[in-house]
Amino acid sequence: MARIAYKDWKPSARSLEIVNIANEICADYRVQGYDLTLRQLYYQFVARDYLPNNQRSYDNLGALINQARLAGYLDWNYIVDRTRSLRGYTDYEDPADLIARNQKQFRLDRWRGQEFAVEVWVEKEALAGVVSRAALSMDVDYFSCRGYVSQSELHAAANRHRYYEEEGRSVRVIHLGDHDPSGIDMTRDIQERLELFGANTEVRRIALNWEQIDEFQPPPNPAKLSDSRASAYIAEYGASSWELDALDPSTLEQLIKREIRDYLDEDLYNQRVIEERHGQDQLAQVSDNWLLVADYVEQLNN
């Protein structure tokens, strides 16, 4: 547990109660292999009727979680910021170290020869952790749209999809976004601009859809009246909107995996997995016998 106290803090009984609830929620998700953003944690409080769903509650929870972490009441690893990270090169002791640490990164295209090529696109970078876990477990690429996708990225996607089509594969984009005026419209926008750039891609919106709102009852927010698409949205869905973050991470993961399986020839996929593991075993042998390999290379050079 990474609880480190940097400041003294004497929480009120109510504050301590909220922190204890936060610890229980985060610990439960950690056991399942998930970490949470602050917004995802907030929606877990709202869904359990611990907090009202408004901006003030969100701001207050954020301030309280910050205090609790600084005072050692909450594990630092429980809450993540997926929008900011340090990037740089990885260093190695020698070539054998590089091979040993990266042999599992040897991957074959497990979808080669499949009827479909599949990608998962999500509106929000903050949900990339959940989406990546589901997509990468089935060797599917994922993309964080960060709202409306830029023209450059959509043009590049269309070129990529046409390449898949030339291989004889049909392309499916699995899209996830908020159920609000812009979030609904983003699915249409992706489909239309991919078609504009010459791709025959089918975009499948799997969340957040009305049937999931009805089934899972995520907490509602007021529809954004300032959005130019609000009138049409309200006419169809009413004055409430719903954020994708409010769905349980495991629910999102299962929705994505279920959709991917609809396009997958599992026998062909599993054969590629066997071939991939054979290649990883060969790399492990190279690492274990690096001195012999290096000596052989030296002899070739002399």
Reported as a single tens digit per residue, the pLDDT across 235-285 is 999 999 999 999 999 999 999 999 999 999 999 999 999 999 999 999 999
- pLDDT attached to residue 33: 87
pLDDT category of residue 58 using cuts at 50, 70 and 90: very high
The Cα 129–Cα 32 span in angstroms is: 13
Reported as a single tens digit per residue, the pLDDT across 203-237 is 999 999 999 999 999 999 888 778 889 999 999 99
Reported as a single tens digit per residue, the pLDDT across 19-33 is 999 999 999 999 988
Amino acid at 107: R
pLDDT category of residue 202 using cuts at 50, 70 and 90: very high
92: how many CB neighbours lie within 10 A of its CB? 13
Reported as a single tens digit per residue, the pLDDT across 122-150 is 999 889 889 999 999 999 999 999 999 99
- pLDDT attached to residue 72: 95
The Cα 172–Cα 167 span in angstroms is: 14
Q: In terms of Cα–Cα distance, which of 7, 39, 44 is closest to 22?
A: 44
Q: How many angstroms from the chain centroid is the CA of residue 1?
A: 24
pLDDT category of residue 109 using cuts at 50, 70 and 90: very high
Contact (CB, 8 A) for 199 and 190: no
The Cα 12–Cα 10 span in angstroms is: 7
Residue 193 reports pLDDT greater than 60 = yes
- What average pLDDT does this structure show over 154-182? 97
Helix (H, G, I), strand (E, B) or coil at 36: strand
The Cα 67–Cα 299 span in angstroms is: 62
Helix (H, G, I), strand (E, B) or coil at 83: coil
- pLDDT attached to residue 161: 98
Instruction: Calculate helix-pair angle for 13-31, 38-47, nearest 10 degrees.
Output: 110
Backbone angles phi, psi at 144, to 5 degrees: -95, 115
